[in-house]
Copies of this chain bind each other. A is one copy, B any other.
Amino acid sequence: MRIGIAGLGTVGAGLIELIQKHGDLLARRGGKSLEITAVSARDKSRDRGVDCSGYEWFDNAVDLAASDKVDVVVELIGGSDGIAREVVETAIGNGKAVVTANKALIAHHGTSLAAAAESMKVPLSFEAAVAGGIPIVKALREGLAGNEISRVYGILNGTCNYILTQMEESGRDFEDVLDDAQKLGYAEADPAFDIDGVDAAHKIAILASLAFGCPVDFDALHIEGIRHVTALDIAYATELGYRIKLLAIARRGEGGIEQRVHPCMVPLHTPIAHVDGVFNAVVAEGDFVDQTVYEGRGAGAGPTASAVAADLVDIARGLNLAPFAVAASDLQEVPTLPMDDHEGPVYVRLMVLDQPGVMADVAAILRDENVSIESVLQRGRSPGEVVPVILILHDAREGAMKRVLKSLEEMEPVVEPPRMIRIELL
């Protein structure tokens, strides 16, 4: 099986290393030899730590995708459009199997690409696009195929989880830890995609489609990142018996599906609360299997190359499933449950001037929106100074909470925007 690799960043180099090292193993498992025949990248001269001299070089990845010396195209360029999309479309159009690690591409164009691949009867595989080291695409598409899935959620962005873990361990604030993470290579120079939740959103959109049999719908997602999580919030979470994690959640509810990414407080006793650093974890719940949990490294050259290699072995073995578990034409549109209707407990932190009457005003605002207070946490008194006041509210509807937060912010003694973190009891 002749493999062409488009994109030679760390994952591309990792994949070349894997195939060079495990040639015999892959041939025994795949039933035929897996040979890299062609590669493409922007800069031919760069030293990538692997020997590419035996492979045909393409300056233009689209030419590689069309080359008759390639049976399977591995797309490792990235980005939802542009060259990556062109490479994948060209490969499929030329009747070649495609393996990609590109979550943005699949999250935005997965359904139409799947339809194209199915009409050409070629596999389109993307295990590496979601939680690299965890075979969760395969688990949802095949391993849990006997279940109606009710919910799938997880920690899908290693950068955010690393930052939150570091913040908790060191007590330092977000910007400070982000800075370190960038120096250590755990965060990109432009970290927006990770820390604003977009990367996790791409991944949960893909998992939602696999779990619920609906077209991938990135635009249905409610997305918040971790920029506003403070060391103070983390300290309060610990005190209250929670940990703060960026969760990506897809849930089948009454009459539709909700998909959301945002920081959550999760109870200490849940498996997800103990997933630290760059590790990812996914929980999938089915009606017969009950709860299943998967944990592993989410990114990096080795785990991502491992996922690409698994897809390649599947293709060598002749596996050719519908990319989203059911035929693209069989994917069923499901309504998106509006985020405003979401209901659940929340944590709210107010920074207020400690003066008489504040709590009465806060309580009145909550009462007017029919939101119940479960507990209030304010330590001691410091008349005339700014103090944090923590509210735990239950059964709070998002729509009502928006108005509550706005009213709270307009209160004169409230000196900075209130911060809300949803509590997920899981």
Contacts and interface: CB of A to CB of B under 8 A. Distances in A.
Interface of A: 14, 18, 22, 25-26, 28-31, 127, 133-135, 138-139, 142-148, 213, 271, 274, 286-297, 302-303, 305-310, 312-314, 317, 319, 321-322, 325-327, 330
A294 B293 contact: yes
A27 to B, nearest CB: 10
A280 to B, nearest CB: 10
Contacts of A317: 321
22 contacts: A18-B288, A22-B146, A26-B145, A30-B145, A127-B143, A138-B139, A142-B313, A142-B314, A145-B309, A145-B314, A146-B312, A147-B309, A288-B303, A289-B296, A289-B302, A292-B294, A292-B296, A293-B293, A294-B294, A294-B295, A295-B295, A317-B321
Contacts of A287: 302
Contacts of A213: 25, 28
Contact of A147 (B134, B143, B271, B306): B306
Contacts of A29: 145, 325-326
Contacts of A22: 146-148
Contacts of A326: 28-29
Contacts of A313: 142, 145-146
A245 to B, nearest CB: 16
Nearest to A292: B296
B144 A310 contact: yes
Contact of A296 (B133, B290, B296, B325): B290
A309 B139 contact: no
Contact of A306 (B146, B309, B330): B146
B297 A296 contact: no
Contacts of A330: 28
> Can you list the 8 inter-chain pairs with the closest CB atoms, starting with the nearest?
A146-B309, A135-B143, A292-B296, A289-B306, A293-B295, A145-B313, A288-B306, A288-B302
A322 B143 CA distance: 17
Contact of A297 (B127, B289, B309): B289
Given A142-B314, A146-B312, 7 more contacts: A14-B288, A22-B148, A138-B143, A145-B309, A286-B306, A290-B296, A293-B296
A308 B146 contact: yes
A375 B91 CA distance: 63
Given A29-B325, A297-B290, A305-B288, A310 B142 contact: yes
A323 to B, nearest CB: 13
Contacts of A307: 146, 289
A127 B145 CA distance: 12
Contacts of A288: 14, 18, 302-303, 305-306, 309
Given A28-B326, A325-B29, A310 B135 contact: no
A21 to B, nearest CB: 8
| Residue among A30, A135, A312, A327 having the largest count of chain B Cβ atoms under 10 Å | A135
